[in-house]
Structure 1
């Protein structure tokens, strides 16, 4: 199989703000190393030629050659005849056609198994399809009946909403990318949590946004959990970002929920600055045993500027990831603007899937109750397993969501993720959820998998941790500096 070609332009986008006060070739090598470790540069990718990348980044060819040389000596690059410099992970086996002795268990995707009643609902929805076949099937806003159902769901949760405030999208990620493309111009400041959902910051960065991170801390011993409110408000007031991206309910990956009073203060500060805040609520209703009454984030918006609170939702986490239907709740004017921009890339969400979700919305309270039971069992099972096998790790307390943000006690997350691969377990390393290489002390572990998968995952993780403690990967001088 020929390696994937990474162009100089594509690599420049991935690099982001990589330059530091140190030596340029070391900073470049460190950034490429990080991107390879957390998977944003896939292994077996061919990097651009030294001259091409140097021209693109405004560097001499000698500087790029030195960076590639450092990566090669550390085991992150190898030379392939006729293919140039190809990325790899140090200690990883050479590609082979021989099947692995370990069946692969992928915990990189934090998703629940499909809701058991989905197939039956899909069959019923198929009967609704004939009455839509007379049209083109192209609609950038969404079926009226689905928009009405979503609006009614928001009203039931305490947020008055009309159908013209809803756009149906191809999942939540599509919604985030569309909002970023329409609302962010190159160089605009964008507030974002850290750690955060990787595909969100990638979309915002790809749109040209300058990311302004604000920390969120998991509920760990000795920590002050939640959002750094002082930094958040200061970023809004002094940096005046055009946009902010938040996950106020069961934040991914920390599992934190923003208190209602804090929501009001944050939204009021955003209103004073004219900053539009996107609330990603794809996990927002996956409550397990949270105390208190939490409605949608936008319900706390300043009455004078409700247009500055935008909500993104989907059924991908609550029903099934393969059901690619999401939505945006926003001011009708913004919905019209998004619809006009959307036509340049796609012509709407598949009609049959919209019909399925229309029926599912009616059953969502019952669906969420069944999910709550599954998630409670998964959380308790994982928490107990981690405490027994890894007593030195710090495991946070969460009352909802789908993941634990575990503190390993040492900056070895990328090394552990690599060692786990050798045991057939795929887990993203902590830096995947950071902006510039942080969180080497953390590992995100989902608890949304069934009782058969979790023991396998814990067994593989234990073997990987043991091998790491016995035979740590070579210290490159980078990971140990990143926390």
Structure 2
């Protein structure tokens, strides 16, 4: 059994107010089940003793005992004499949610020519208005570089200087030799884990989180330690998980989190960096969405690295979301010694990123304020259109309107995300079901809906999605096969 555990006071904080419904034990069981289903309470987490949880909640021990009994009957809790109780997930055959999704975040076989199909699964906008000018300037600059071999393993110095200047402008002094340019943020993260993580090492991940980060960690053979962030970052739980595992690395998306859209407060950032220091763990901050705030006049929260004094925080950035995904240019900000290690480690992958694309990104970074303004205007219109359409056509769904990012994280009344995604495809709209963003089969009552399409297309998509949801609601629930003994 896992060594992870929650205390009575921690569990009480996660549960919030004591349920007022009657009977109280049933409401308490439902609340705990919800924590497991939406990922805030990891499977195989040891629960507080009945007496301790009763004291923390101010209810009778009999109430907690009855709640645990119900959860055991539902297969969300397992117990063993002398070892206590811990969270679990029902076996796949017991679930009414249907099969796991076959696809990922990107839809194969769908392209720009398939105009009738509306893809809310791919959170990547088209190129900004200044793109053509940046390409022309980069092409004009290219002859200055073509006389050489074209291999710059750390990246073009002019681009590294531009990226470093961006960090300095946000309060994090950075030199060009602390930047490594990569072929996208995904390569950056893969390069980091191959350099810093050995098979079997524990790596803390958020639940939900970016699916391809989970895939890279699984391929490396890392042991995943998920911590729920659906309701925001609970730094005490994060710190406890780092300490209990113990973890070699923690991966976080602090800026307009993918997929929830949450923005980590500055105080939590400082506490998280301190927790990583005390756990002797690297903290990888995925800043892919950091420039996608919807109100460009709002004060920006400093990067995680602003709280780092010992090279503990490693920042990953990308041009894919703000600029254009087709550029495939990302970067890593770290210490100069680790940057040199990463440059050597990338040789088996691709040796260097394309020069022309780096020049284009450098030109775009010179106009980054204009690009941010354009993105904010477009995304705000589309976000509000999608939110309004969901309220009209799917009033039972719950979601926060994010202050930045590219998607809504919507919770449905029942855990049917996988079946909904499959049905929605037949209705001409694509969404990504919640389990794609988790490490352990939870989040079946969530879907991620990107809002990079124009407002009218998003309103049509919401209508189609409502039709698909009605079809799923009307379908009989899947029944588990009988056991053979």
TM-score (norm 2): 0.76
Rounded to whole Å, the distance in 2 between the matches of 1:35 and 1:231 is 31
Cα shift at 1:205? 1.6
2:100·2:418 contact (CA, 8 Å) conserved in 1?
A: no
Indicate the residue corresponding to 1:271 in structure 2. 277
Report 1 or 2 for greater relative contact order, CA contacts < 8 Å, sequence distance ≥ 6: 2
Rounded to whole Å, the distance in 2 between the matches of 1:422 and 1:102 is 15
- 1:299 pairs with 2:306: yes
Indicate the residue corresponding to 2:227 in structure 1. 214
- 1:436 pairs with 2:449: no
Indicate the residue corresponding to 1:408 in structure 2. 412
Q: Deviations over 1:353-410 (max 9, x none)?
A: 0011111111101110111111111111111111111111112131111111111011
Indicate the residue corresponding to 1:461 in structure 2. 465
Rounded to whole Å, the distance in 1 between the matches of 2:408 and 2:445 is 13
The 1:43–1:163 alpha-carbon spacing in structure 2 relative to 1, beyond 3 Å, is closer
- Please give the residue correspondences for 1:14-53 in structure 2 after superposition, counting only pairs within 5 Å: 36-39=100-103
Rounded to whole Å, the distance in 1 between the matches of 2:406 and 2:275 is 30
2:105·2:432 contact (CA, 8 Å) conserved in 1?
A: no
- Please give the residue correspondences for 1:79-478 in structure 2 after superposition, counting only pairs within 5 Å: 103-217=116-230, 225-289=231-295, 292-301=299-308, 303=309, 305=310, 307-472=311-476, 474-476=478-480
Give the match's secondary structure for 1:287. coil
Rounded to whole Å, the distance in 1 between the matches of 2:116 and 2:434 is 23
Q: Deviations over 1:261-290 (max 9, x none)?
A: 111111011112221000000001211138
Cα shift at 1:122? 0.3
2:152·2:352 contact (CA, 8 Å) conserved in 1?
A: yes
Q: Deviations over 1:40-89 (max 9, x none)?
A: 59999xxxxxxxxxxxxxxxxxxxxxxxxxxxxxxxxxxxxxxxxxxxxx
Indicate the residue corresponding to 2:19 in structure 1. none
Instruction: Extract unaligned runs of 5+ from structure 2.
Output: 1-42, 45-74, 80-89
Give the match's secondary structure for 2:228. strand
Rounded to whole Å, the distance in 2 between the matches of 1:452 and 1:374 is 13
Give the match's secondary structure for 1:108. coil
Rounded to whole Å, the distance in 1 between the matches of 2:453 and 2:114 is 22
Instruction: Extract unaligned runs of 5+ from structure 1.
Output: 1-16, 45-94, 218-224, 479-483
Cα shift at 1:138? 1.6
The 1:115–1:273 alpha-carbon spacing in structure 2 relative to 1, beyond 3 Å, is same
Rounded to whole Å, the distance in 2 between the matches of 1:310 and 1:325 is 17
Give the match's secondary structure for 1:141. coil
Give the match's secondary structure for 1:313. strand
Rounded to whole Å, the distance in 2 between the matches of 1:262 and 1:387 is 32
The 1:460–1:130 alpha-carbon spacing in structure 2 relative to 1, beyond 3 Å, is same
Cα shift at 1:470? 2.3
1:113·1:449 contact (CA, 8 Å) conserved in 2?
A: no
CA RMSD of aligned residues (A): 2.9
- How many residue pairs match? The answer is 393
Rounded to whole Å, the distance in 2 between the matches of 1:41 and 1:318 is 18
The 1:182–1:162 alpha-carbon spacing in structure 2 relative to 1, beyond 3 Å, is same
Rounded to whole Å, the distance in 1 between the matches of 2:325 and 2:460 is 22
Give the match's secondary structure for 1:211. strand
Rounded to whole Å, the distance in 1 between the matches of 2:115 and 2:369 is 39
Rounded to whole Å, the distance in 2 between the matches of 1:252 and 1:106 is 17
Indicate the residue corresponding to 2:17 in structure 1. none
